[in-house]
Amino acid sequence: MAFKLAIIGLGKIAQDQHLPVVAKNRDFELAAVVSSRGGHGDVPSFKTAGELFRSGIKLDAVALCMPPEPRFAIARDALDAGLHVLMEKPPTPTVGELDAITAHAEARKRILFTTWHSQYNKAVDEAQRLLKDKRVTRLHVSWKEDVRHWHPGQDWIWEPGGFGVFDPGINAFSIVTKILPQPVFVKSAMLETPRNKATPIAAQITFKPSWDGAAELTADLDWRQTGEQSWNIDVETADGLQLALRRGGTELYIGGKLTVQAPPEEYEDIYVHFAELLREGRSHVDGAPLQLVSDCFMLGRRTDTEPFL
């Protein structure tokens, strides 16, 4: 028996990933979609989540793919309707909302799954395995891309809650929080912010270790990178392991040698994992990447930079 799923929000990520991946996964049956602008083939379609929940259509779960702002209220209503919930990244605009929806899912005894697509790569899994029980002495994240190429005309990314350069940066953080054996904390963050925008276009972050001992832990996020794009994470350990994730976590180099290279099947793996969670009756909530971004804003020092046009 396939799980009956509704996808709520048919923007770019739903079109590019959720719809085709769900169509291929025999554990799921697309039972409905919710979109303010048109539907999807002959699948029952609703203008609002409220209309879906009142429709009487039989459902097991919903995938929330709209922007984060309304997610808490829609997730709450879905849980109240007895449905399990998958949330695209970032799950909510604030950690407060994520904490509350986590508690609500527990109270309703429903499954909540927060996805962080960059975590679903074989190279990331192998990095996590290799770093288990190690003492990290150095971490450097270099996450540099061209906002004009990846977010043409998307004004909301520059508004509060749009995360600015932390929109891609949170993907890096979701890898870091997965592979490191112990948490890191934000020590300081420089937030380079265009004079005409609310959110940063670049950020330089220094972390501090939760473990006893010295460690050099930094991240360099930049949305002004033209030409070659950089999605790199480098880690060194006290016993001399040198580990490098490249191309957004799809390639792993150990001591300079390519060790894992796997084609990205992030969303395929996300839905395989969601089916497991549903069968096993357990939630998977990971707030660490969002908390790290929130802590960057908490301790951030804004510096003005040239207007973004």
Please identify, using beta-carbon distances, which residue of 16 and 304 lies nearer to a second copy.
Answer: 304
Among 2, 13, 81, 100, binds a second copy (CB under 8 A): 100
Choice from 210, 216, 261, 306 touching a second copy (CB under 8 A) = 210
Asked whether the beta carbons of 125 and 178 are under 8 A apart, the reply is no
> Which of 49, 86, 127, 186 is close enough to bind a second copy by CB under 8 A?
186
CB of 18 to a second copy, least distance (A): 26
286 makes contact with a second copy (CB under 8 A): no
Which of residues 13, 95, 254, 272 is near a second copy by CB under 8 A?
95
Least distance CB 129 / a second copy (angstroms): 22
Which among 29, 50, 51, 33 is positioned nearest to 41, based on CA atoms?
Answer: 33
Give the contacts of 182 (CB within 8 A, at least 6 positions apart): 136, 209, 210, 211
Active site residues: 89
Q: What is the CA 273 to chain-centroid distance, rounded?
A: 15
Instruction: Indicate the residue among 160 and 255 with the shorter CB distance to a second copy.
Output: 160
Q: Is there binding between residue 99 and a second copy (CB under 8 A)?
A: yes
- What lies within 8 Å, CB to CB, of 214 at 6+ separation is 137
Among 20, 82, 160, 255, binds a second copy (CB under 8 A): 160
Q: In the bound complex, what is the minimum distance in angstroms from residue 164's beta carbon to a second copy?
A: 11
Positions touching a second copy (CB under 8 A) are: 72-73, 76-77, 93-97, 99-100, 160-161, 183, 185-186, 188-189, 193, 198, 210, 212, 288, 291-295, 297-302
